Amino acid sequence: MSALVTGAGSGIGEAIALRLAKDGLAVAVNDLRADAAERVAQGIREAGGTAHAVAADVSDTTAVAKMVAEVRSVLGDPAILVNNAGHAHQAPFLEIAPEEFDRIFAVHVRGTFLVTRACLPAMLKAGTGVVVNIASQLGQIGGVDLVHYAGAKAAIIGMTKSLAREVSTRGVRVNAVAPGPINTPLVAALSEEWKTAKRAQLPLGRFGEPEEVAGVVSFLTSPEAALFVGQTLGPNSGDVML
Ligand code: NAD
């Protein structure tokens, strides 16, 4: 059985790819950066797993179609899809350039739409499949200087619920994971001021590690998660309690 993880050349996506490979899945490792995807795929193979690196920009319709066709021919149709690719950008609302707003929505929202759209037909045909969308707790509570990012992540939560309602009776479970701050290059790039203030707010007093998010994704892909449909799970150090 195979899984496709987007943005798996770094951080949370890399940890998810490694974890799903350990779970016994053949993993398609996507990233915008071919070298990063290949590094992670190579690591999985060296550990005895099966992996195939596939570079593509998830916001590009043609590239996504090509990527999914390649994954299908090498590993078979993905039974599991993790929409993880993303980037962050911080700016006060009035300083967000329309181009930056569009790029955030293109990668996170359009990317999730395009890759799911390419993988879903095979899942529906098989009558089984799991989609996990990586949102963010900022999509639940918002964040200063993050209107575009938080807006895109809120959109992903809405898309998750709607698609889950549409396809759950046909064997495909769709859920989201909304992490709090996790130690990855994406968070390292945020301002020190933001990180210090954020850490102080967390009941747990620390940021999470990528592996701690990967464990949640692994659970959602497992048969134990059979009753989880359209949910948003929050590995967030206690920052958001729903
Ligand atoms: P990261 O920067 O370490 O990894 C993101 C990866 O996605 C990179 O390798 C990058 O090249 C790839 N990528 C970016 N745009 C892409 C595109 N258009 N097509 C394909 N690949 C692309 O970041 P991360 O922290 O691991 O973030 C992973 C996901 O988790 C993102 O969706 C992010 O928004 C989300 N998230 C992160 C945190 C956090 O605190 N780190 C918290 C909540 C949600």
> Would the CB of 87 count as within 6 Å of ligand 1?
yes
Q: Domain count of the chain? A: 1
The verdict on residue 242 lying in a domain is: no
The verdict on residue 241 lying in a domain is: no
Contacts of 220 (CB under 8 A, 6+ apart): 130, 132, 173, 175, 177, 228, 233
Percent of the chain with pLDDT over 90: 96
Residue 110 Cα to ligand 1 midpoint, Å, equals 15
Whole-model pTM: value is: 0.98
What's the CA dihedral at 17, 111, 1, 73 to 10 degrees? -110
Residue spans of the chain under pLDDT 50:
none
> Would the CB of 35 count as within 6 Å of ligand 1?
no
Domain range for 72: 2-233
The verdict on residue 53 lying in a domain is: yes
pLDDT of residue 189: 87
pLDDT of residue 120: 98
Strands, E, within the chain: which ranges? 2-5, 26-31, 51-55, 78-83, 129-134, 172-177, 232-233
The verdict on residue 238 lying in a domain is: no
Count of other CB atoms within 10 angstroms of residue 148 = 23
Q: Could you give phi then psi for residue 13, rounded to 5 degrees? A: -60, -40
> Would you tell me the crossing angle of helices 11-22 and 210-221 to the nearest 10 degrees?
50
Residues noted as catalytic:
149
Amino acid at 36: A
Q: Kind and range of the H or E element at 122? A: helix 111-126
Residue 235's nearest CA partner among 148, 87, 132, 165 is 132
* CATH number, domain containing residue 143: 3.40.50.720
Residue 133's nearest CA partner among 18, 15, 13 is 13
> Would the CB of 38 count as within 6 Å of ligand 1?
no
pLDDT of residue 201: 93
Pocket test for ligand 1, best of 4, 6, 12 (most atoms within 8 A of CB): 12
Structure tokens at 10: 């770094």
CA distance 55 to 57: 7
The verdict on residue 70 lying in a domain is: yes
pLDDT of residue 191: 82
Residue 54 Cα to ligand 1 midpoint, Å, equals 16
> Would the CB of 125 count as within 6 Å of ligand 1?
no
- Residue 15 CA, closest ligand 1 atom number: 26
Pocket test for ligand 1, best of 67, 186, 207 (most atoms within 8 A of CB): 186
- Asked if residue 177 lies in contact with residue 213, where contact means CB atoms within 8 angstroms, the answer is yes
> Would the CB of 187 count as within 6 Å of ligand 1?
yes
The verdict on residue 51 lying in a domain is: yes
The verdict on residue 23 lying in a domain is: yes
Residue 209 Cα to ligand 1 midpoint, Å, equals 14
Residue 50 Cα to ligand 1 midpoint, Å, equals 23
CA distance 58 to 104: 12
CA distance 121 to 138: 31
Residue 210's nearest CA partner among 167, 162, 168, 177 is 177
pLDDT of residue 194: 84
Residue 101 Cα to ligand 1 midpoint, Å, equals 16
CA distance 14 to 228: 24
pLDDT of residue 190: 82
- Asked if residue 178 lies in contact with residue 240, where contact means CB atoms within 8 angstroms, the answer is yes
- Asked if residue 110 lies in contact with residue 63, where contact means CB atoms within 8 angstroms, the answer is no
The verdict on residue 173 lying in a domain is: yes
